[in-house]
Amino acid sequence: MQNTQQPRTDLQGKVAIVTGASSGIGEAIAEELVKRNAYVALTARREDRLQELEQRLRGIGNAEILTVPGDVSKPEDVQQLVNQTVQRWGKLDIVVANAGFGYRAHIVDGDIQRWKNLLNTNVYGLLLTLKYGVQKLLENGSGHVIVTSSIAGRQVTAGGAVYSGSKFAVNAIAEALRQEVGQQGVRVTTVEPGAVVTEFAEVAGYSSEVIEAIKQMEPLQASDIARVIIQALEQPAHVDIAELTVYPTKQTGQGVFANTDKRQQ
């Protein structure tokens, strides 16, 4: 019988941008890409953290890294990231749209400035990353987009209106993109992690009760998510793992919030 097996995608020499690379999941993905000899452009707002990461990654073989600090909710910053990446390496193959943060409050108690910042980063910032990044993938006629969503993009709990709303939007945007660019050889993978140990809980301002409940469930590490993403990236070019939901084994839905949600009085 004829062997119709297609080769795995080799990440060596692929050019990637990673948003939200200054910590957590983005940092872990950047590291895994560098270990596979991909060329990686890092972005986030904290320049010092990106430079520390760049230094660390330079210790891995012949790492090729570019650091472009910026805010994904600013079109000029995203354009700068994409343009500098293409100037440096002549192309773009992988866009990891990962920057984002959480927030929990009942709607009636919501901090309206935080709502705006969250939607500007998680939704508008994602759209900007996709708009300017995917243009370059289409010019290549191939590429792969990784979008970090959340299980909060599949399930809603009281207190999660704005974050869940943003991640439901992320899932819709990623699926629309998949339908728009698949015919042109560009793959789109949406990753929906459950609880992962990163700076996320601190940035979101979770209560100590929620943080303790997360610890009890043996949460995922950022490296777990990075490993799963690499598996999606390494599939043969005709295989698009469109959606990856990754739970800690002991996590049941978003139960940790259902059990601990209390309105701040």
Ligand X SMILES: NC(=O)c1ccc[n+]([C@@H]2O[C@H](COP(=O)([O-])OP(=O)(O)OC[C@H]3O[C@@H](n4cnc5c(N)ncnc54)[C@H](OP(=O)(O)O)[C@@H]3O)[C@@H](O)[C@H]2O)c1
Sheet with 15-19, side-by-side order of all strands: 64-67, 39-43, 15-19, 94-97, 143-148, 186-193, 243-246
Q: Where are the beta strands (DSSP E) in the chain?
A: 15-19, 39-43, 64-67, 94-97, 143-148, 186-193, 196-197, 220-221, 243-246
Q: Is 29 in the site for ligand X (CB under 6 A)?
A: no
Among the listed ranges 24-32, 177-185, 229-237, 256-264, the one in contact with ligand X (CB under 6 A) is: 24-32
Least Å from the CB of residue 25 to ligand X: 4
Question: Could you give the CA distance from residue 115 to residue 71 in angstroms, rounded to a whole number?
Answer: 17
Window 122-151: residues binding ligand X (CB under 6 A): 125, 148, 150
Three-state SS string over 135-150 comes to HHHHHHCCEEEEEECC
Window 100-119: residues binding ligand X (CB under 6 A): 100-102
List, in order, residues 6 or more apart from 10 with CB less than 8 Å away: 234
Question: Could you give the CA distance from residue 141 to residue 185 in angstroms, rounded to a whole number?
Answer: 6
Site pattern 232..261 for ligand X (x: CB under 6 A): ------------------------------
Other Cβ atoms less than 10 A from the Cβ of 31: the count is 20
Determine which residue in the list 14, 24, 92, 130 makes contact with ligand X, applying CB under 6 A. Answer: 24
Residue of closest CB approach to ligand X: 24
Least Å from the CB of residue 3 to ligand X: 39
Site pattern 82..101 for ligand X (x: CB under 6 A): ----------------xxxx
Q: Is 160 in the site for ligand X (CB under 6 A)?
A: no
- 103 is known as an active-site residue: no
Tokens of 201: 């809980």
For residue 39, give the nearest of 14, 72, 7, 6 by alpha carbon: 14
Determine which residue in the list 34, 72, 82, 95 makes contact with ligand X, applying CB under 6 A. Answer: 72
Q: Is 171 in the site for ligand X (CB under 6 A)?
A: no
Quickly tell me which residue has 């400035």 as its tokens: 113
* Residues contributing to the site for ligand X (CB under 6 A): 19-26, 44-46, 49, 71-73, 98-102, 121, 125, 148, 150, 193, 195-196, 198-200, 203
> Catalytic positions, please?
163
